[in-house]
Amino acid sequence: MMKKIEKIIKWLQKHRCLTAIISGIMFSLPFAFPPLFLLSFFGVALFVIALYGEIPQSSESLFSRRLPIKKPFLRGFLFGLGFFIPLYHWFIALYPFNGFDFTFAQSVFIIIAACVGISIIHSFVYAIAIRLYAFLRPAVALVPALLAAFWVLAEWVMSLGELGFSWGVTAISQLWLLPQVQTASVFGSYFITLVTISSGAYLGLAAIEREKSKMFVSTAAIIFSANFIFGTVLFFIPTPTNGELNSAILQANISSSEKWENEGKASEEAYLALLEEAVEKYDSDIIVMPESAIPLNYSVDSAIKEKLQTVSTQEDVIIVLGALTKDSGDTYNSLVAIYPDGSESNVYNKRSLAPFGEFMPYKDFFENTFPFIKELNLSASWISFGKGSNLIDTEFGNLGGLICFDSIFQENARESVKDGAELLVLATNDSWYKDTAGVRQHADFARLRAIENGRYMVRSANTGISMFIDSKGRIIKSLNALEMGIIESEVKTSNSLTLYTRFGDTALYLAFAIIVFGFINRIYGLIKHKNK
C-alpha cells in the first residue's frame, strides 16, 4: 500500500501543473458535495506537492531550511482555475435568460463571462497571493502558517471593491461538520480558513518530507482536533436567549421571468394567497416574505399597502415584506414591517448590491464597452446602496435585516447584531439559479452568519431554499428549492454578543500579522546574506 502511495506522489511531483489543477478541483468538491469536506484538506496537501515537487533530503533544521518554488504564479493560477470554474458552474443556470431581450450571442457571452471570466479574475488573485508567498521563501516550519495567511488574504481581497464576490470562502466547505465551524463565533470565519489550510499544508509536507512525515501528520491532526474539540464545546454551550416567537415563511416559487411580467401581478396574487393560507393555518407572530416579493414600488402603491395592512390588523400579525421603495428620488431594495395597528417600521435598505443586476460597477467602462449588459436590470431604474443596519423594531425584539447579496459579506450581519439585532431576517430571491449548487451555497452563508453572531436566522427565499436556522447553524426547518409552500417554527431572540461580534475578524488580523512577520523575516534574511 505504501509503495502505491509513493508512486502516486512521485507522479504528482513530476506533473506539477496538472497536480495544481487537480488540487483546485478537489478543493472545490466540498462546496457542491458537503459530506466530502475532508477533501478540502487533501486539496491543499496536493497543492503543496504542486508547489514544491521533489525535495532533496537535508540535515538543516526546519526553521532554517528554505524550500525553493518554481513558477508559483502559474501554479497558483492553475489551482484557481481548477477551483473556481467548478465552483461557479451554476451561472450556467441563467441561460436562456427568460424575460430578457438578449441575442443568443449575448447570452453566451454573459454565461462565459460569469463562469470563466470571474474564475480567471479570482485565479489571478490566488496567483498573486502565492507569488508573494513564494517571494518570502519561508522556512519549512513556517510554510503552513504563511500559506494559510496568504490564503486568508486572497479570500479577503475577493470581497473588496464594486466587483467584490467572496463566494469561495473555505468555511462554507466545512459546514457539514458543524462543530468544526463554531470557532467562527470567536475569531470569525477566516479562522476556519487558517485551520483548514495549515492542516492541509502539513499533510502536503508529510508527503514530500518523508523522514518527518509522522511529525507533520501529527501536527495536522492536532490542529484539526484542537479546533474540533473547542468547536464542540461551543456547539453544546447554549446561546443565552431573552425571548421567543412564532414565525412563518412564505415561498411562492415564482420564476424570475414571471415575477416581473404584467406589473408583478402573478407574484402579488401568489403571495397574497399564501398569506391568507398562513394566517388561517398558523398562529404566527411574524410572517416573512422574500426579497421584492411583490415587485412594485411599495412607497407609491397604496393598493398593496392597504391589502397587507388589512391582513396585519385583522390577524394581529407583523408582516415583514421585501419590496422596492423610493426615497428622495432614489430606488432601494428594501425590507419593511407592517404592524397590526396599520403603521410601518423603519425601512431597511440593502447594503451590498449585486453587480450588473442592481447597479452597474465601473459604469463608464461597462456601459460603453458592453451596453447590452444593463438589460440585466429588470426594474425601472438602478438600485441605490443602503446605509446602516436600520433595525426593525417589534414587540418581540429588534430584527436585523439582510437581503440576498448582503449575506455573503460577514460585516453586514455583524453590524446589525452589534447595533442591537436580536433576530436576523434574510429575504432573498435565488430564482435565477433554480435548484443548483449555487442556491445551496448561498443558503449556507446564512448558516455561517448565524454561527458567527449567535443569532437565529429566518431566511425567506422566493424559490427556495427558505429555512429557519438556530444560533449554532442547525437547520430547524426548511423548504426545498422550486417548491411552493409555507413553513412555520418557533425562533428565539438573544441580546448576547459573541466575541466575533464584539471584536470582528481577529483571524484576519492574525493573518496580516503572520504576513508582516514573514516579510520582516525575509528582509532580515536577505540583509544577513548580503553582509556575509
CA distance 284 to 301: 26
pLDDT-derived band of residue 68, with 50, 70 and 90 as boundaries? confident
Q: How big, in percent rounded to 5, are the helix, strand and coil portions of the chain?
A: 55, 15, 30
Query: Per mean pLDDT, which range of 59-68, 245-254, 404-413, 509-518 is the poorest?
Result: 59-68
What percent of the chain shows pLDDT beyond 90? Answer: 67
In this structure, are residues 486 and 277 in contact, taking their beta carbons and an 8 Å threshold? Answer: yes
Percent of the chain with pLDDT over 70: 94
Question: What distance in Å separates the CA atoms of residue 526 and residue 52, rounded to the nearest whole number?
Answer: 21
Q: Examine the pLDDT at 503 and tell me if it is beyond 90.
A: yes
Note the helical H segments in 190-264. 190-208, 213-236, 256-259
**Single-letter residue type at 389:** S
What's residue 357's pLDDT?
81
pLDDT at 299 over 90: no
User: Tens digit of pLDDT for each residue in 213-242?
Assistant: 899 999 999 999 999 999 999 999 999 999
Q: Cell numbers at residue 139, please?
A: 522556512
Alpha-carbon distance of 312 to 379, in angstroms, equals 27
**Helix, strand, or coil here: 319?**
strand
| Predicted local confidence at residue 524, as pLDDT | 80
* SS3 at position 173: helix
Q: What is the mean pLDDT of residues 180-191?
A: 98
Q: What is the DSSP string of 20-35?
A: HHHHHHHHHHHHHSGG
- The grid coordinates of residue 288 equal 416573512
Of residues 14 and 388, the one with the higher pLDDT is 388
pLDDT above 80: residue 56 = no
* Separation of alpha carbons 490 and 246, rounded Å: 4
The residue among 380 and 209 whose pLDDT is bigger is: 209
Cα angle value 420/425/430 (rounded, 5°): 145
Q: Taking all residues of the chain, what is their mean pLDDT, rounded to a whole number?
A: 90
Q: Which three cell numbers stand for residue 266?
A: 402573478
At residue 456 the predicted structure's pLDDT band, cuts being 50, 70 and 90, is very high
Question: Does the pLDDT of residue 378 top 70, yes or no?
Answer: no
Nearest of 105, 373, 104, 94 to residue 257 by alpha carbon: 94
pLDDT at position 109 is: 87
Q: How confident is the model at residue 379 (pLDDT cuts 50, 70, 90)?
A: low
Question: Above 90 in pLDDT, residue 487?
Answer: yes
Q: Which of these ranges, 14-23, 56-65, 272-281, has the smallest mean pLDDT?
A: 56-65
Domains present along the chain, CATH in parentheses = 2-236+505-531 (no CATH), 243-492 (3.60.110.10)
Question: Residue 417 has what pLDDT?
Answer: 98
> Given the DSSP bridges, would you call strands 286-288 and 243-251 parallel, antiparallel or unpaired?
parallel
Instruction: Assign 364 a pLDDT band (cuts: 50, 70, 90).
Output: confident
pLDDT of residue 300: 61
pLDDT at 422 over 70: yes
The answer, yes or no, to whether residue 385 has pLDDT greater than 90, is: yes
Dmax over Cα atoms in the chain, in whole Å? 86
Residue 503 backbone dihedrals phi, psi, to 5 degrees? -115, -10
pLDDT in tens, 128-140: 999 999 999 888 8
Non-local (6+) Cβ contacts of 361 within 8 A are: 161, 162, 163, 355
Question: Given this model, what pLDDT does residue 57 score?
Answer: 67
* Predicted local confidence at residue 263, as pLDDT: 65
Structure confidence at residue 106 (pLDDT): 84
Residue 125 in grid coordinates:
488573485
Does residue 84 carry a pLDDT above 80? yes
Given a cut of 70, whether residue 4 has pLDDT beyond it is yes
Q: Is the pLDDT of residue 301 over 70?
A: no
Q: Model confidence over 140-171: pLDDT tens digits?
A: 889 999 999 999 999 999 999 888 888 999 99
Q: Output the pTM of the full model.
A: 0.93
Residue 268 pLDDT > 90, yes or no?
A: no
Tens of pLDDT, residue by residue over 98-123, are 777 788 888 888 888 888 999 999 99
